[in-house]
Amino acid sequence: MSNLPEMPLPLDRKTFRDAMANLAAAVNVITTDGEHGKAGFTATAVCSVTDSPPTLLVCVNRNASVYEAFKGNQTVCVNTLGNGQQALSNAFGGKTSQAERFQAGNWSTGVSGAPVLEQAKVSFDCKVTSTVSVGTHDILFCEVLDIVQHVEADVLVYFDRRYHALGRAMTR
């Protein structure tokens, strides 16, 4: 006889997704360009890993139409959106063609070669240094090569399956 506690049954996808809807996150447009094509998608699955060297992680679904471009190019720009950029988020998150997605904003080219959104709150231009596969997604570990910030912009967050604006608090 074992004294180990009985393990609960695995959670179903709906329960997990419903719970994750309660986790507020910044809305980002993730872009790449290079030999394997120009592509982008909307994501909230982005976070800081370490500041030495400055590294982010970005999650991308292996079944997504953009997957091969990101896997092949090994460059990423994380463009954090501001309030008023919901349409851009929707364009990069839907079935819009890649060409139409990039027509929705003004872009420059980062040091990695990835597109940088000129109106982003902050853009992290990166090279992918390693990848780990978990379930349906790849986790891209991205070393930050350059950062462009616009401090006057509000941040767009996604919470409870809706967009919300998050501004800077007034300080004395």
Q: What is the residue-level pLDDT of the chain in tens, covering all 172 positions?
A: 567 777 777 888 898 888 888 888 999 999 999 999 999 999 999 999 999 999 999 999 999 999 999 999 999 999 999 999 999 999 999 899 999 999 999 999 999 999 999 999 999 999 999 999 999 999 999 999 999 998 776 899 998 989 998 876 645 4
pTM of the shown model: 0.90
Segments of the chain assigned E as strands: 25-26, 28-32, 39-43, 46-51, 54-61, 75-80, 107-109, 115-117, 122-134, 137-149, 155-159, 162-166
The domain locations on the chain are: 28-161
Q: Which CATH code fits 28-161? A: 2.30.110.10
